[in-house]
Amino acid sequence: MSLARALPHVYLFVNYFYSDQALGKLAEAHAQQDPTFNSTIGYTRLSAAEAIAQLKELFFPGEQLPSVSTMAEVLNGMGYRLRQW
């Protein structure tokens, strides 16, 4: 029996924890400071769609990843402003 079936709440927590860490590392790798240093907001060249694609490449199941608009809100909540497409 898989961990997801035996302990679904533990599986979801562990998956969320690692996806949150992975997302933070992705955003940090593409981040830059506000050039005027007037803000603590970090800017990232990573788009929400690209973040989802890269998390899928890291073996996170697509059905457990949020939509593009939700991913943008998550990244904004982490203190990053996304590039516009």
User: Are the C-beta atoms of residues 73 and 49 closer than 8 Å to each other?
Assistant: no
The residue among 66, 69, 83 whose CA lies nearest residue 23 is 66
Q: What is the pLDDT of residues 15-70, one digit of tens each?
A: 554 566 777 777 777 777 666 766 666 667 788 888 888 888 877 777 778 888 88
pLDDT of residue 2: 46
pLDDT of residue 5: 52
pLDDT of residue 64: 77
pLDDT of residue 40: 60
